[in-house]
Structure 1
Amino acid sequence: MATLLRGEVPVILQPAGYAQYKGAYCPPGVAFAEVRRGPLDGHSDWAVRPDADGEVPRVMSFDGGRFAYEYDGRDKKGRAVYRYAPNLSPAHRGIMDGVAEVYAQHAAKQAGESR
């Protein structure tokens, strides 16, 4: 957990919810559940500072803007919950194409073993 400065709110990063993954890119043959997964899901090493109105940033980006997480309320521990936002993440298409390649390799391996 991050060391918090006065006024900061701890953050937890979570997989995308329906609002975030609706309409997101998913290659043929890949389980749509893969779209929900973000590269930083489960991390709680960050904190945000609310603005003067008490609002936290709507979107947090990581790795030079390649990955985005969208604010989705607070959890029972008072942490700001940010969900992976594939539609806002420029790296999402490349990641999903890589997942599709792994799926294809696995299918080819399974087909070879079943002979």
Structure 2
Amino acid sequence: MATLLRGEVAAILQPAGHAQYKGAYCPPGVPFKEVRRGPFDGKADIAVRPDVDGELPKLMTFGNGQVVYEYDGRDQKNRAVYRYAPNLSSSHRDVMNGVAEVYAEHALTQAKEGQ
């Protein structure tokens, strides 16, 4: 857990919810569940600072802005929950194309072993 300074709120990064992944890019041959996965899911050693009116930031970015997580309320431990936002992440299409390559290679290997 992150050490919190005065006014900061503990946060956790989670996979995308329906609101975040609806309409997101998913290449053929890749299960749609892969779209939900963000590269930093489960990270809980972070904190956010509310702005002057007490609101938490709506977005949290990583990788020079290429990976975006969107604020989605609080969890039972009162942490701020940020969910992966594939539609807002500029790296999402490239990552998903890489995932598609892995699935295709696996299918090819399985087919060769099944001969």
Alignment-derived partner of residue 15 in structure 1: 15
Per-residue deviation, residues 61-96 of structure 1 (Å, max 9, x unmatched): 001111000000000111000000000101000000
2:112 aligned with 1:108: no
Q: Give TM-score scaled by structure 2 length.
A: 0.98
2:45 paired with 1:45: yes
Taking only the aligned residue pairs, the percentage that are identical comes to 72
Q: Give the letter aligned to residue 70 of structure 1.
A: E
CA distance in 2, matches of 1:26, 1:41: 19
Spell out, residue by residue over 1:30-61, the C-alpha distance to the aligned partner (whole angstroms, 9 max, x if none): 00000000000000121111112221000000
Mind listing any 5+ residue stretches in structure 1 that lack a counterpart? none
Partner AA of 1:113 in structure 2: E
What is the aligned-residue RMSD (CA, Å)?
A: 0.6
1:72 and 1:50 mapped to 2: Cα distance? 14
> d(CA) in 2 for partners of 1:70 and 1:27?
23
1:89-108 → structure 2 map (5 Å cutoff): 89-108=89-108
Letter in 1 for 2:84: Y
**Residue identity opposite 1:18 in structure 2:** H
Which one-letter code corresponds to 2:20 in the other structure?
Q
**Residues 29-40 of structure 1 mapped to structure 2, 5 A cutoff:** 29-40=29-40
What is the DSSP-based 3-state SS (H/G/I as helix, E as strand, rest coil) of the residue aligned with 2:69? Answer: strand
SS at match of 1:72: strand
